Amino acid sequence: MIIWNTQTGIEAAKFEWKKQSKEGPKSIKFSKDEKYCGRLSSKHHIEIYQDGNFEAPKATIVASIENLAKKSDLAKL
């Protein structure tokens, strides 16, 4: 996932999750400069924190697709 600054068009942060994580260290990723933190809070929600403030997320991203296709499903298309 890439977060863009909409005013400048410059990439603000980048996160990569290879698999869905359960609660714990693997569910949290930091940007390279550690200004932003992304937390995979559920299968369909990502919370974004900024500047080390973890009291409340700065933003929450919610997937609009309930069930994503599996590779085996794509082969049938």
Q: What is the pTM (predicted TM-score) of this model?
A: 0.57
Among left, alpha and beta (phi > 0; psi -120 to 50; other), residue 76 is: alpha
**In the chain, where the domains are located:** 2-75
pLDDT tens figures, 13-49: 777 756 555 556 667 888 888 898 888 887 778 899 9
* Confidence check: pLDDT of 68 > 90: no
Alpha carbon distance 31, 52 (integer Å): 12
What value does the mean pLDDT take over residues 48-68? 82
Supply the pLDDT for residue 12: 83
% the chain with pLDDT above 90: 8
Supply the pLDDT for residue 22: 59
